[in-house]
Amino acid sequence: MRQRSSKADQGSAIPRRPQASALDSGLRLLGRRAHSRVELQRKLGRRGYTEEEIDSALVRLDELGYLNDLTFAEGLVRIRSASRGPRALSAELAQRGVGRAQADRALASYNDALQMASAMRIIERTYGKRDITEYREMLDRVGNKLLRLGFSTTIVRGACRAVISGTPRADED
């Protein structure tokens, strides 16, 4: 008769090897969404692949054109710029393992006019229905939120002034 193994026995067992290759797992992960090189390396490591398997899979994915930190960073900036400022985006890119040079290149397209339009949309979406007529009141209510979202003080002040004065956004011209 076969004995059942206890949980204590399972904890000391050798970790099971993944069924699929690191390259297959990497392709599957990239099929769901884009990843940075460091993100993919971390995920494959958590799945039990050795450093050699991970390195060879990352090299092959790079050769195939599926793994590009600059393209990943540009996509993330394009998607998240509607709700975050450049400081928050830069921090998120760093957290995801994108190098400083690639992050700076991706953020270069997020100029002051786009930042101003994003900040104004956030103000209008968040406080559009409230009757705020004073600049200081607008700054007090909205300013800290925009700063937390990664916008600079210059953009925050400009967006508050523009919303109070009723200036059309740059994308409405």
Q: Do residues 35 and 72 make contact, with C-beta atoms less than 8 angstroms apart? A: yes
| Band (14; pLDDT cuts 50, 70, 90) | very low
Choose the weakest-confidence range: 57-61, 94-98, 107-111, 123-127.
Answer: 123-127
Average pLDDT over residues 139-161: 92
CA 113 – CA 141 distance, rounded (Å): 22
pLDDT > 70? residue 90: yes
Q: Which amino acid is at 129?
A: K
Lowest-confidence range among 90-94, 102-106, 136-140?
136-140
pLDDT score at 16: 55
The whole-number pLDDT of residue 15 equals 53
Q: What is the pLDDT of residue 12?
A: 47
What are the backbone angles phi and psi of residue 8, rounded to the nearest 5°?
-65, -40
The model's pTM is 0.77
DSSP string, 45-104: HHTT--HHHHHHHHHHHHHHT---HHHHHHHHHHHHTTT--HHHHHHHHHHTT--HHHHH
Lowest model confidence (mean pLDDT) among 8-17, 53-62, 91-100, 106-115: 8-17
CA 140 to chain centre: 28
